[in-house]
A and B are shown apart, each in its own frame.
Chain A
Amino acid sequence: MILRSGVVDRTVARALKVLALSSIFVLASITFFIFREGAPLVYRVGLGNFLSSDWHPTAARFGIATMVAGSAAVTAGALALAVPLGIGCAIALAEMAHPILRRILKPAIEILAGIPSVVYGFMGIVVVLPWIRGHFGGPGASALAGALILGVMILPTIIAISLDALQAVPRTYREGSLAMGATQWQTIRRVVLPAARPGIVAAVILGMGRAVGETMAVVMVAGNAVQFPHSMLDPVRTLTANLALEMGYAAGDHRAALFATGMVLFLIVVVLNGVAGLARGGRAKSGGEARR
């Protein structure tokens, strides 16, 4: 059957356009829905209320400051653990490891990135909490526990993306530096790392995004107390944990406040993606093509 190519082409183009518009509509509706449910609440109770540290839904107090502090503490701790380990590991794999070792470890690390968060959370309960209790006393469930578990969770992400960034640096950069008498470490420090910096920054930011967005693991180990942490050993509640814990029974303004929290999380993700995009945008596309 030979249809005029024009007819088939036009039909296909139209069908694909419908699909694309549907997808975009779907995705936009999520954003719209969250903001439509959440924004009016902030307007109603006022920014002062919303940003305060007083979270008592029954008394119409919807201040998320303590939860922001909780998220910040846990995320900062996670990054403190995962960034040095992750970048170091990426450097070793990209620059110093035997190619066979790299070929085994890289997919292995990416597979580890797929372990569900609840499993990490359980590991936290079984291993980390007793350890903290033993060494520092207290209940164990704390910002520290959350930070340790999250740090391990985002480690594969940071390693994998930093590794990609380092491998994308053209071989000629290294060869040129070594040919001028530099040691391997000097080459790494002065040539390779600066060249890979946008990609590594993007890796860290993505790791941060994953940490901020994590729910189940922190619910299991971070304590969930609505209070400002004065030390890493205090129990905290993150923004995401708050959503998970109260969603089941929230109604009316309370539920709207949860949507407003979702809105805040969404905005954080947008900002992080924007910064990561800017960091990566500086690097020309040639990076990826050089690798191919």
Chain B
Amino acid sequence: MIARRRLITPRSAQALASVVVWGTTVAAVVILVLILVFVLGRGLPHVGWSFLSRAPVDSGRGGGVLPIIAGTLEVTGLGVAVAAPLGIGTAVYLVEYTHEGPLTRVIRFGTECLAGVPSIIFGLFGFVLFVLGLGLGWSILAGAVTLAFMTLPTIIRTSEEALRAVPAAYREVSLSLGASKWQTIRKVVLPAAVPGILTGIVLALGRAIGETAAVIFTAGSNLPRLIPTSLLEGTRTLSVHFYQLAREGISAENAYATAAVLVLAISLTNVAAYAAMNRFMRRYR
């Protein structure tokens, strides 16, 4: 074969490409790391036990975020607690009890779309329907139900994927050993799918904790009591608190501190999700 003389030899193209590609990687990683460093660097020094255990003072100029942490847990916890059984049950029904066809494809497309709908729209929906329409006012309940609606499509989708990833052979084998359909699901399919399902739920929880737009219009932004007496009380979550502090310029210190707590909480939930998934996978392989 006659070798042609080229402007850029393959070897130098390789070197050039390497440089460009690694350059973009360094840039991307540096940017992302800088953000983490920035937020944690300025925020962590102010996050101490007193910050985590006291209530805000003077609209957040001083004090801490304890009731706000509580508010966050109430709204997101309740929301995910409602969405999870509903979503997992739906996924089980879709995967195990229906055959693949136009109907299931429409449902899947619908859940994927709703998983991608901007959260502000859920906020609008929750505001008009729950806060105003049902008369709940700005409340933990309105916030939780809105978050439940928001996370439901994601949970259905991730649970469905996890269930479909279980090899068909497991089901056949279980049935042929004398198990009923429900026993097969309960003893073989669900345990094998649990890592994926749990990961999906924890990720949904992480997303809900960081959510601002949907929550600010449904749970409100009133500074909450530490222990709410009813679900109809309004509350403020960490991300809403951070938003108020940042926008109103109330206290840069506390804003950074709140951001640091937020970022840590979400990162920890994500890390926990992946660690749990890895450990389960290793046990079941």
Residues of A at the B interface (CB closer than 8 Å) are 5-6, 8-9, 12-13, 15-17, 19-20, 22-24, 26-28, 30-31, 33-34, 37, 84-89, 91-93, 96-97, 105, 107, 109-112, 114-123, 125, 127, 152, 155-156, 159, 182-186, 188-189, 206, 209-210, 212-216, 220, 240, 243-244, 247-248, 255, 258-259, 262, 265-266, 269-270, 272-274, 277
Contacts and interface: CB of A to CB of B under 8 A. Distances in A.
Interface in B89-129: 89-90, 92-94, 97, 107, 109-114, 116-125, 127-129
A24 B107 contact: yes
A88 B25 contact: yes
A125 B246 contact: yes
Contacts, number: 238
Contact of B212 (A97, A118, A210): A118
A184 B158 CA distance: 35
Nearest to A3: B180
Given A20-B89, A240-B213, 11 more contacts: A8-B182, A9-B182, A22-B90, A85-B27, A89-B28, A152-B32, A155-B31, A185-B10, A212-B118, A213-B117, A255-B128
Contacts of A117: 210, 212
Given A115-B266, A118-B212, A122-B255, A26 B152 contact: yes
Contact of A186 (B13, B21, B110, B255): B13
A162 to B, nearest CB: 11
Contacts of B21: 88-89, 91-92, 96
Interface stretch (B45-53, B54-62, B225-233, B267-275): B267-275
B62 to A, nearest CB: 20
Nearest to B112: A273
B89 A215 contact: no
Nearest to A119: B259
A111 B267 contact: yes
B40 to A, nearest CB: 11
B63 to A, nearest CB: 20
B113 A111 contact: no
B92 A213 contact: no
B24 A88 contact: yes
Contact of A188 (B11, B17, B110): B17
A182 B164 CA distance: 38
Nearest to A97: B25
Interface in B226-243: 239, 242-243
Contacts of B177: none
B274 A107 contact: yes
Contacts of A109: 32
A220 B246 contact: yes
Interface residues of B, number: 82
A114 B35 contact: no
Interface string B25-43: 1011101100110110000
Contacts of A272: 116
Contacts of A210: 116
Interface in B190-235: 203, 206-207, 209-213, 217
Nearest to B150: A30
A27 B111 contact: yes
Contacts of A17: 93, 97
| Of A88, A114, A125, A189, most B-chain CB atoms within 10 Å | A114
B129 to A, nearest CB: 7
30 contacts: A5-B183, A19-B85, A20-B89, A23-B156, A28-B110, A31-B110, A92-B21, A96-B21, A96-B22, A111-B267, A112-B36, A115-B39, A115-B266, A116-B266, A123-B39, A152-B31, A183-B10, A185-B13, A186-B10, A186-B14, A213-B118, A220-B246, A240-B120, A240-B213, A262-B120, A265-B118, A266-B113, A273-B113, A277-B109, A277-B112
